[in-house]
Amino acid sequence: MLTTDLSDRVALVTGSANGVGREFALSMADAGASVAVHYHTSATDARATATIAREASGSATTVQGDVTDPDEVDAVFDAVEADLGTVDLLVNNVGDFAPRHWEELDFETWNRVLETNLNGTYLCSKRALPAMREAGFGRIVNVGYAGTEKALVYPRNFPYLVAKTGVIMFTRMLANDTTDDGITVNCLSPYVVENSDEFPDEAPRGRWASFADLRQVLFFFLDSDSGYVSGENVEIDGGWIPEAL
């Protein structure tokens, strides 16, 4: 299993009260990072996650906010900076999912999916960058979705696919815009993970992606020796080929 030393690093994982974000936060705490567990409404779960992270790294906190609201994003970062210090490692994990036909989605849901996945990634990255640039070091990892780099589209869950395509484009743009700053920006794109809400009939390689599979890629991106790897998108999909469907 790939490991990395994140001691003396401050990490913020958006949407880390539970699910994949929780596993990311706990993995980073196990590697020594001080972790900010972010949540929007899941306060109880966030506190439980932070307690486990604190036992691993000795330093963790919870922060609340809506990542689609610029003022709340500022407040989230202000709270992290007050409790732990400036953010060195940012994982943009928040992203609503609406697996229904596009005509069945109300406008509020349509917007929420686009805003949480794409606008949230933009706002949090923008807020993190000044301190990272000043420090001459930073790691931003965005969570995408396998297949969207190939312009994968279906009538079902369409705004999610559009937003994740935008996340990949934003990742590449930001990597280009930070080439002289000691910052890397990369994208981690799973297909179906072991805790997903829905499962297709067949799993690539006979199983769904585990949290350990995602952690392998995350730790590679976060490692201090991965400073020349930026603007990349790694799909954790077991060899799934969407165009074969």
Q: Single out the catalytic residue among 122, 145, 160, 191.
A: 160
> What percent of the residues of the chain are helix, what percent strand, and what percent coil, each to the nearest 5?
45, 15, 35
Q: Which residues contact 11 (CB under 8 A, 6 or more apart)?
A: 25, 28, 29, 33, 34, 35, 36, 87, 88, 89, 90, 91
Q: The sheet that has 10-13: what strands, in order across it? A: 60-64, 34-39, 10-13, 89-92, 138-143, 183-190, 233-236
The pair phi, psi for residue 228, each rounded to 5°, is: -100, 0
Identify whether 228 is a catalytic site residue.
no
8-state DSSP, 149: G
Residues 83 and 10: their CA atoms lie apart, in Å, by 10
Residues 236 and 18: their CA atoms lie apart, in Å, by 20
Q: What residues are labeled active site?
A: 160
